């Protein structure tokens, strides 16, 4: 190499054997990511995401009768939508079953736990019925802490109240440590039974923009199902991880 102009052609010849596999790998990654995104978009136009989410909430078994204990699991912060939903379901169950013990399971966060207890009390649950279990930063640790401190409840019926996407894994984790009578109370969102159609022209809709005023599936369902797909994919990965570790 006698001139600077020869530098880049020389580097190209030296690096080409390494760059070709990288280019093929990059092309393959683009194809896989693009295909996956397309599949998720197509599935969001079907009921599959809804059914997958529903199975996570109910596939492990739901409570069908009275229970001896109610276990409300936290983990989403307070106040937050998921936490308030769990407390809503837990308090309703506690009012229906006044003899059942109420356990509030959460990570070691006394401030959040106190707010959750206050919410349950505000919803009609006697403060004396509520016992805190503030150990464990994931479901496995929390189940183990419950088994260690409350082993006498192992064979009794126990309603676990948590988010639907976490229910299947939570039931598996609690049953694994000895709570054979555990059943699920998934805290599903409630549907909104209101006509959300509107008059596109009356509110100043542009002639250059498509009118989707009467297409609720495109306005809401499609996007909700896209979010459900991400939620379900994350949870199925977590279930696989728990199974590989023998935690459920």
Domains of the chain: 19-58+192-248 (no CATH), 61-190 (3.40.50.620)
Q: Report yes or no: 125 and 95 within 8 Å, Cβ to Cβ.
A: yes
So what's the pLDDT on residue 3? Answer: 61
So what's the pLDDT on residue 244? Answer: 96
Q: In b/e form, how buried is each residue of 83-121, taking b as 16+ CB within 10 angstroms?
A: bbbbbbbbbebbeebeebbbbbbbeebeebbebbbebbe
Helix (H) or strand (E) holding 132: strand 130-133
Distance between CA atoms of 189 and 200, rounded to whole angstroms?
A: 29
Q: How many residues does the chain have?
A: 248
pTM: 0.83
Q: What is the dihedral of CA 127, 133, 137, 140, to 10 degrees?
A: -120
Summarize the confidence of residues 108-130 as an average pLDDT: 93
Residue 12 binned pLDDT confidence (cut-offs 50, 70, 90) = low
* Residue with the larger pLDDT of the pair 94 and 1: 94
The answer to whether the peptide bond before residue 42 is cis (omega within 30 degrees of 0) is: no
R_g of the chain, CA atoms, integer Å = 26
Tokens, residue 181: 């009578």
Q: Given a cut of 50, is residue 1 above it in pLDDT?
A: no
């Amino acid at each position: 190499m006698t001139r600077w102009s020869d530098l880049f052609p020389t580097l190209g010849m030296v690096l080409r054997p390494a760059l070709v596999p990288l280019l093929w790998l990059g092309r393959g990654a683009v194809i896989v990511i693009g295909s996956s995104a397309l599949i998720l978009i197509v599935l969001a136009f079907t009921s599959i995401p809804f059914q997958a989410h529903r199975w996570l909430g109910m596939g492990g078994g739901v409570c069908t009768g009275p229970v001896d204990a109610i276990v409300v699991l936290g983990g989403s912060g307070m106040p937050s939508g998921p936490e308030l939903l769990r407390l809503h379901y837990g308090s309703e169950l506690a009012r229906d079953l006044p003899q059942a013990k109420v356990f509030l399971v959460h990570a070691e966060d006394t401030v959040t736990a106190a707010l959750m207890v206050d919410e349950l009390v505000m919803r009609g649950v006697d403060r004396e019925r509520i016992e805190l279990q503030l150990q464990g930063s994931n479901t496995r640790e929390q189940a183990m802490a419950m088994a260690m401190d409350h082993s006498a409840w192992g064979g009794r019926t126990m309603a676990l109240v948590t988010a639907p996407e976490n229910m299947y894994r939570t039931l598996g984790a609690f049953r694994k440590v000895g709570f054979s009578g555990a059943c699920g109370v998934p805290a599903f969102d409630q549907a909104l039974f209101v006509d959300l159609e509107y008059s596109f022209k009356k509110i100043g809709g542009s002639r250059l923009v498509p009118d989707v005023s009467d297409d609720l599936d495109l306005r809401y369902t499609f996007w909700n199902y896209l979010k459900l797909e991400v939620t379900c994919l994350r949870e199925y990965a977590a279930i696989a991880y728990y199974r590989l570790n023998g935690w459920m």
